[in-house]
A and B are shown apart, each in its own frame.
Chain A
Amino acid sequence: MDLHQLWTILATPDNVPIVLLALAVPFYTWYGLRQSFANDRLIAQLEADPALARTHHRKTQPWRPEWDREVHVWPYLLRIEFLAALIVTVILLVWSILLNAPLEEPANPNLTMNPSKAPWYFVGLQEMLVYFDPWLAGVVIPFLIIVGLMAIPYIDTNPLGSGYYTFKQRKAAILTFLFGFLGLWLTMIFIGVFVRGPGWMWFWPGATWDHNRLVFEVNRDLPFGALFLAAYTAAAAWAIHKLITLTPFHRKIHARMSRFQYLVMQFFLILMLALPLKILLRQLFRIKYLLVTPWFNI
């Protein structure tokens, strides 16, 4: 265990924000889900008791009939905004006093940094370069992430859970988002930042970065890759369809979708599931390409 190496990575100034992220994301996941579960309990209670549902104020927040539904922005919101601005300023000031921004040697095209890493928020995409050619990892995947995010409001036809935290009423949507955000995006960033060393080789946290390490990996292409891809697409589409029509409630949501909405959703979900699949194929079976054509490889 090389604690010094671990510390060097963690304390690299530009990695400090990721340490912060590693604390903030679990906290807010817990904070959001806790409120979701509280609302879910309320929902269960109201569903069991229609009479109560008719009279209940339907929030977990404290409530009294004589309270106004709305409060004045001045002072009730503005004072909080002012306080938030103060706190953020203090945090930023203290952070900037304690930790200096990095400045390396002047740029030198003849002296390659090893490893040379993108800024942390792009390191996840850089990590995808291990599994995909640059046109996929650097161009197509980011493009699809952006378009996929933009499509969310137009393919989520579930009318429940608008404006309040809930898990029970939006299981599929929330699990998908958690999978994409935590399971793919942030996981890839953490691997790229904390695990990848010189030559973009895999060094477990705490292992010494050995600049002379060589790895002889013979990667091979999958035979009958086109068949495999077709089979995967069919299997994934079938599994996704089963999942989103599992319960009567989910069938009801599904019935509200147009054919086009359904196809777009399938398209993005199939591609999203393909990422971990390709990663596993590479890590476990040393598969480089699934599909080889004269113009591009996948």
Chain B
Amino acid sequence: MSLSAKLARLLKSARKTQVAKSVLRVKHEDTPRARSLGVLSNVFLHLHPAKINRDAVAYNYTWGMGGMTFYVYLVLVFTGALLMFYYHPSKVVAYRDILYLENDVPFGKLLRNMHRWGAHLMVIMVQLHMFRVFLTGSYKKPREFNWVVGVILLVLTLLLSFTGYLLPDDQLGFWAVTVGTNMARATPLLGNEGPFGPQLGMTPYNDVRFGLLGGSIVDSNALLRAYIWHCIAIPILASLFMIVHFWRVRKDGGISGPAPVMLESEIPQPREP
């Protein structure tokens, strides 16, 4: 008997053991039933239906953009968690931690680069995903609400990126966040320089910008707040909304197309009021 045949037999008998059966739960053979069960009985794959529109698997419809956005998000969670091992969110130490990561931690520079460029990539991809959803009219009935969830995800993606910008505590992040949060001063009603702000008693020490920064300037409190938003609050929110987003893709009838084209003459008459 050849080696490969032996291996195949070994593998086959291994799959019959109690251990393997308890792990896999379903038989892995090349039948339609096994293929469906393989997807449906796996917690990571069961977001997928067992079968989908044959034309939807081609690249040209979805561009794979939503899926790739999600994948980059996972990469960011992974690299971000590793970065957290080396990073302290306090003045002076934070910048030194980045230098340490860049120069002394094995693969530290690569890790930081991947997190940085991954973030940019996610921002680009989420915009392209929205673009394709628009061009295919996929926000139309019954998917209106999932588009709204998507817009929330877009905002959260931008905020994730923005809060991360401050964390190296260098000139680039400091001034970008200064410019960004200075605008919050001008919030109508809630900012000390915004319309009707002063009339409502807003000062640099109690307005919305103060709340964001934990102070009247971008300093150690702002660093800590950015860190908590960036590493805890927004990732949790984004993950929650992604769960809803994917769930709704399924519940709204799966991916929207490619659907057969509809003609103008086939528009249903609106109901009389």
A residues adjacent to B (C-beta < 8 A): 14, 17, 20-21, 24-25, 28-29, 31-33, 35-36, 39, 42-43, 46-47, 53, 57-59, 61, 67-78, 80-81, 84-85, 88-89, 91-93, 95-97, 99-109, 111-113, 116-119, 121-122, 125-126, 129, 133-135, 137-140, 146, 149-150, 152-154, 156, 159-166, 169-170, 173-174, 177, 181, 249, 252, 255-256, 295-296
With A61-B258, A159-B268 in contact, is A107–B174 under 8 Å at CB? yes
Determine which of B128, B147, B260, B270 lies in contact with A28 in the assembled complex, contact meaning CB atoms within 8 Å. B128
The interface of chain B, by Cβ under 8 A from chain A, is: 32, 35-36, 38-39, 45, 48-55, 57-60, 63-64, 67-68, 71-72, 75, 92, 95, 98-99, 102, 109-110, 112-118, 120-121, 123-124, 127-128, 131-132, 134-141, 143-145, 147-148, 151, 154-155, 158, 161-162, 165, 168-176, 178-180, 182-188, 191, 193-196, 199, 217-218, 256-265, 267-268, 270
In the complex, the answer to whether B158 meets A121 with C-beta atoms within 8 Å is yes
List the A residue with the shortest CB-CB distance to B51: A70
Query: What's the minimum C-beta distance from B155 to chain A, rounded to whole angstroms?
Result: 6
Q: Tell whether, in the assembled complex, residue B147 and residue A152 are in contact, meaning their CB atoms are under 8 Å apart.
A: yes
CB distance from B160 to the nearest CB of A (A): 11
- Mostly, the A contact residues are helix
Contacts known (A32-B132, A163-B138, A164-B259); A88 close to B165, Cβ less than 8 A? no
Given contacts A72-B36, A159-B140, contact A133 B267 (CB under 8 A): no
Given A17-B123, A116-B175, A138-B184, 14 more contacts at CB 8 Å? A28-B132, A32-B132, A59-B260, A61-B55, A71-B57, A101-B117, A107-B218, A119-B165, A150-B147, A153-B147, A161-B140, A164-B136, A164-B257, A170-B137
- Contact partners of A146 in chain B: CB under 8 A: 151, 155
The 10 lowest CB-CB distance pairs between A and B, nearest first, are: A138-B183, A163-B257, A163-B259, A58-B260, A107-B174, A96-B113, A134-B186, A153-B144, A116-B175, A296-B195
Contact in complex: B51, A108 (CB < 8 Å): no
Interfacial chain B residues near A112, Cβ < 8 Å:
175
